[in-house]
């Protein structure tokens, strides 16, 4: 996270005095990392004499992986789908029975939930064979939008042994928050900036926002895509809608139809309910726990396969 801040503020060509300041700040906040030396004891993170250290190593890695430094990659075929039982990429027309079930679900009402769930399970293999993008799947299976649990059911069929996000929170939640708090304190001491708004949200949301902030930057490939500023990262996961503001107004103001959680309430510390926006529409029903909303968000990316960054 420290290197991410350095790159965002100074780029990848950073003067050694800046590296020294950051290295000093780290050992000042975490004395256990200080080494015995005649200088400052921060040389593990950056040694101005040799140019070595953890900060220097990470900066070189980021610079090497940036588009300007990388050679053009050879064109490769797309990786296979998550569902290894699904037949190969060529899409074949559904047989008569499957076609009838698909047509029934297009005209079914949400209160016919039991029948819809049964037919969705029977058409699972066909659905996986036609998944190309979110819009095409929702046109063929519109009940995803208004019938609860359908996305979660497909996810379970696709990855039956995958643990829930709630299990992740129980096991790793406190550790993640502790690490993030230390990093945030280190950042504040170096930059002089106030703490982020992460602390305003409920505990479960804070855990996932903390993970988001601590993720290392990814290679952007050959496309010249601007990196999202650190302060805007939460808006890729969850956005706040003040009570009384129309949800559609929030959706229309976004530059992408990519799935996202919308938290509705008087303020971020007191959320009434959560909804999921998918392909410019609201997924029903309302959700009352942030962990359930975020779990559904990640399941949606797996099941409907939206294009990242679209």
DSSP per-residue letters across 132-145 = SSHHHHHHH-THHH
| Window from 28-42, 142-156, 256-270 with minimum mean pLDDT | 28-42
Tokens read off for 29: 């906040």
Q: Is 174 left (phi over 0), alpha (psi -120 to 50) or beta?
A: alpha
Number of structural domains in the chain = 3
Strand-pair partners of 238: 261
pLDDT of 296 over the 50 cut:
yes
DSSP state of 282: E
Q: Are residues 190 and 289 in the same domain?
A: yes
Asked, for residue 29, whether it belongs to a domain, the answer is yes
What pLDDT does residue 56 have?
81
Task: Average the pLDDT over 97-125 and give the result.
Answer: 93
In a domain, 78, yes or no: no
Least confident of 52-61, 119-128, 242-251: 52-61
- What pTM does this model have? 0.66
Report if residue 80 sits inside a domain.
no
Q: How far apart are CA 190 and CA 177, in angstroms?
A: 20
Does residue 213 sit in the same domain as residue 294?
yes
Residues 251, 179 share a domain: yes
User: In what helix (H) or strand (E) does residue 277 lie, and over which residues does it extend?
Assistant: strand 273-278
As a whole number of Å, the CA-based R_g of the chain is 24
pLDDT of 309 strictly over 80: no
In a domain, 31, yes or no: yes
Question: Per the domain annotation, does 19 fall within a domain?
Answer: yes
Q: Tell me: pLDDT of 232 over 90.
A: no
In a domain, 189, yes or no: yes
Do 206 and 295 belong to one domain? Answer: yes
Q: Of the candidates 153, 175, 190, which is a domain's last residue? A: 153
Which among 125, 153, 181 is the end of a domain?
153
Q: Are residues 13 and 117 in the same domain?
A: no
Looking at the fold, whether 170 and 285 belong to one and the same domain comes out as: yes
Residues 126 and 174 in one domain: no
State how far the Cα of 217 lies from the Cα of 110, in Å rounded to an integer: 42
Q: Rounded to an integer, what distance in angstroms lies between the CA atom of residue 195 and that of residue 188?
A: 7
Residue 67 pLDDT greater than 70, yes or no: no
Identify whether 145 is part of a domain: yes
Q: Is residue 29 located within the same domain as residue 135?
A: no
Q: pLDDT tens digits, residue range 134-145? A: 677 888 999 999
User: Is 41 within a domain?
Assistant: yes
Q: Are residues 170 and 138 in the same domain?
A: no
Q: Which two tokens stand for residue 279?
A: 């392909």
What domain range is 36 assigned to? 2-65
Same domain, 289 and 178: yes
Asked whether residue 124 falls in the same domain as residue 46, the answer is no
The pLDDT-based confidence of 158 (bands split at 50, 70, 90) is very high
Q: Check residue 192 and report its DSSP letter.
A: -
What letters, b where the CB count within 10 A reaches 16 and e where it falls short, cover 280-307?
Answer: ebbbeeebeebbbbbbbbebbbebbbbe
Mean pLDDT of the chain: 80
């Amino acid at each position: 996270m420290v290197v991410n801040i350095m790159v965002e503020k100074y780029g990848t060509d950073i003067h050694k005095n800046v590296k020294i300041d950051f290295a000093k700040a780290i050992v000042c906040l975490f004395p256990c990392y200080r080494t015995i030396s005649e200088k400052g004891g921060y040389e593990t993170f950056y040694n101005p004499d040799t140019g070595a250290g953890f900060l220097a190593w990470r900066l070189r890695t980021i610079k090497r992986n940036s588009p300007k430094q990388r050679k053009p990659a050879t064109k490769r075929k797309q990786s296979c789908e998550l569902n290894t039982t699904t037949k190969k990429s060529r899409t074949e027309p559904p047989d008569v029975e499957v076609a009838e079930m698909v047509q029934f679900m297009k005209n079914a009402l949400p209160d016919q939930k039991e029948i819809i769930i049964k037919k969705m399970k029977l058409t699972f293999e066909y659905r996986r064979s036609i998944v190309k993008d979110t819009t095409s799947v929702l046109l063929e299976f519109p009940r995803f939008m208004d019938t609860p649990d359908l996305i979660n059911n497909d996810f379970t069929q696709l990855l039956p042994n995958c643990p829930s996000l709630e299990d992740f929170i129980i096991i790793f939640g406190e550790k993640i928050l502790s690490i993030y708090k230390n990093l945030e304190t280190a950042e504040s001491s170096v930059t002089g900036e106030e703490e982020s708004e992460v602390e305003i949200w409920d505990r479960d949301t804070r855990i996932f926002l903390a993970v988001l902030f601590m993720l290392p930057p990814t290679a952007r490939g050959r496309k010249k895509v601007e990196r999202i500023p650190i302060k805007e990262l939460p808006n890729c996961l969850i956005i706040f809608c003040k009570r009384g503001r129309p949800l559609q107004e929030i959706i229309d103001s976004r530059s992408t139809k990519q799935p996202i959680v919308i938290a509705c309430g008087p303020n971020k510390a007191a959320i009434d309910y959560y909804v999921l926006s998918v392909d410019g529409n609201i997924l029903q029903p309302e959700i009352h726990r942030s962990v359930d909303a975020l779990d559904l968000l990640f399941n949606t990316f797996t099941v409907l396969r939206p294009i990242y960054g679209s």
